[in-house]
Chains A and B, each alone.
Chain A
Amino acid sequence: MSIPFQELLEFDVATLSGKLRARDISPVELTEAYLGRIEQTDGSLRAYITVTDTMARKAAKKAEAEIAAGKWRGPFHGVPIALKDLVYTSRVRTTGGSKILADFKPDYDATVWTRLKRAGAVLLGKLNQHEFAYGITSSNPHWGIVRNPYALDRIPGGSSGGSAAAIAARSAAATIGTDTGGSIRIPAALCGCVGLKPTWSRVSRYGVIPLAYTLDHVGPITRTVRDAAMMLQIIAGADRNDSTASRERVPDFSAGVGGQISGMRIGVIRELDYGLSDDVAHSFNAALETLRSLGATVDHVTIPSLPLAGLMNGIITAAEALEIHEEWMRTRPQDYGDDVRRLLEIGMMTPATSYLRAQRARARTLAESIAVLADRDVLVAPASAIVAPKIGTTQMLEAREDRVEVVAAILRFTQPFNTTGQPAIAIPTGLSPDGLPIAMQVIGRPFGESEVIRVAAAYESARGALPAAPEIA
C-alpha cells in the first residue's frame, strides 16, 4: 500500500489487476490517484465533461471490501475507467457532448456500462467528445476543446477525443469509445493509445446514443493491446436489449496475446498505402519490417472498391444521423455547433435512393475484403496519413502529395472498416520527430478479433514502450 500515486498511474490494467487482486494496491488509493490526476490535468485537457468522484469513491470502497473478502470479480475489479459521454449512465448526466442533452440523466445504464460495473470497474466520469460523435476533432463548442496530451495545441482526434486523451494523460486506466467512421481508432492513433473497433454487432449498442445505426461500434481505448482484449471480453456478446447484437461465440480474446505470429500472412492494403506524410510512411514501413522480422509473410493486396467505401459511409451516416436528429433540427437547430449542424443539413439533401445504393454497395467491398482474407490472416494499413493537426487546421501541407484536407487525410483510412463492419485495431508505431504519435491498423475477418489482437500484441511487444506524453501542467 505504499506505491506512490505517480507510479500507480503508470500501470496498465493487466498489471493493476494482479496487484489489486493480491491487495498490493487498494482500489480506494488507486481511485484517489486518478481523481487527483484528473484535477491536475483536466483544466488543460478538457477530457472530462462530468467527473463522478463521489460515485467513484463509493465504488472503490465496495471493491476494496469485496476483494478483501475474497470476492474477486475479474480483471477490472477496482480498476478506474471512464466512458464516452454517449454511453447512458443511470442518474448520471449523459450529454453526448451536446448542448441539447446538457441536463439529460438517463434512467437506465447502457449494456456496456452494466457489464463493466458488474465486473467491478470504478467509474471516474464521462468523457468529452465531438458533439454527438459527428466529427473527428473533438473541438467541442459546448464543453471545451479537447487537447492532445502529446501537444496541447493539437487535436486529439475524434469523436472519442476525451477517451484517448484520458488514456494518454494517465487520467483513466481504460476507457470506452464509439466508432462510426473511425472515432475509436483516430483518437487512439493521434494520442498514442490502442483503440479496438470490434466487428459490428459484437458489442451491444443498447443505451449508446446513436450516430448511424448500421455503422456504430462500441469498443475500448487502452494503453495496451492486452488491456483492450480484456475490456472487450467483458463488453462483448449477445444482449436481449439489442436485437442486432450478435450471438456469435465470444472467444478468449486474450488467448493470442504473447503468442507467435511466425508463418502468419499479412496483407498490406494497396488502396491505403499512398499519400502518406513522410513521417507516417517511414513509421508504417518500419512496422512492416518489424512484422516480417517476427516471421510473418507480408505482401500487398488490393480491394478495388475500397476507395468508395468512405463515400458509402458518408452517405449512410448523413441519412441515418438526420433521422435521429430530425426533431431537434426542427426545434433547436441553433443549439448545434456549426459543423455538426452543417453535416446534418447535408443529410437533408441525401435522397433515399443514394442511401439504399450505399447500403447495397457495402456488400461488394466486404466481399472483396473477405476474398483477400481467404489466404491472409489479417490486413494492415496506416491509421491516418498525417499526425495530429493543430487545432483549427483544415488543410495540411506535410503530406507528400498536394495540400490535403485534414478530414479526408484521416477518415479515408478508417471509414472503410465501418462500412464493412470488420474488426480493426489502431496501434502506435512510434512518434514523429516532433514527438507526435503515429499508428497503423490491423484489420481482420468479421468476428476475427482474436487474430487482430494476436498480431497487434506481437507487434506491440516487438516495438517496445512508446514514450509517454510530456508532463501536463
Chain B
Amino acid sequence: MPLVTSETVKQVMRDLYGYEISDADADAIAHSAGAMLTLAGHLPSIGLAGVEPPFGYPVLLAEAARLAKARS
C-alpha cells in the first residue's frame, strides 16, 4: 500500500487548507487514501493502453461558445 501517513495528511490540511485535525482523523484519512491509491494502481490491469480520458474537444468548443455568447 502506498505510504500515506497521518503526518502527511496533517501537513496537507495545515499548509494547503489552514486547519488542524486530530491524530485519529488523520490516521483514518491516511488509511482510506492509501487504500484508494493502492486500488487505483490496479486500474491499468483492465487494459488502458491507448485509452484517452473522456474530455472531448467538442465540449471545450461548445463551452467556449456558450461563454462567449453569455458575455456579449
Contacts and interface: CB of A to CB of B under 8 A. Distances in A.
A359 B12 CA distance: 24
A21 to B, nearest CB: 37
A364 interface: yes
Contact of A342 (B25, B40, B48): B25
A361 interface: yes
A364 B46 contact: yes
Contact of A359 (B37, B54, B66): B54
Given A333-B19, A357-B40, A360-B52, A349 B46 contact: no
B40 A349 contact: no
A227 to B, nearest CB: 32
Interface string A305-342: 10010011011001000000000011001000000001
A349 B51 contact: no
Contacts of A312: 43
Given A342-B28, A362-B54, A318 B46 contact: no
A311 B12 CA distance: 23
Interface string A435-460: 00000000000000000000000000
Interface string B43-58: 1101110011111000
The majority secondary structure among interface residues of chain A is helix
A362 B39 CA distance: 15
Given A345-B21, A348-B13, A356-B53, A243 B59 contact: yes
Given A314-B36, A345-B13, A357 B48 contact: yes
Contacts of A240: 66, 69
A346 B59 contact: no
A339 to B, nearest CB: 11
A364 B29 contact: no
B29 to A, nearest CB: 5
B21 to A, nearest CB: 7
A352 to B, nearest CB: 11
Interface string B1-33: 000100011001100111101000100111011
B33 to A, nearest CB: 4
Contacts of A342: 25, 28-29
Contact of A305 (B33, B46, B54): B46
A386 interface: no
B17 A315 contact: no
A326 B3 CA distance: 24
B40 A348 contact: no
A354 interface: yes
Given A308-B43, A333-B19, A345-B29, A361 B36 contact: no
A52 interface: no
Contacts of A345: 9, 13, 21, 25, 29
A214 interface: yes
Contacts of A362: 54
Given A308-B39, A311-B36, A350-B33, 6 more contacts: A244-B59, A314-B36, A333-B19, A348-B16, A358-B43, A361-B43
- The 4 A-B pairs with the shortest beta carbon distances in the complex, nearest first, are A349-B33, A243-B62, A354-B40, A305-B46
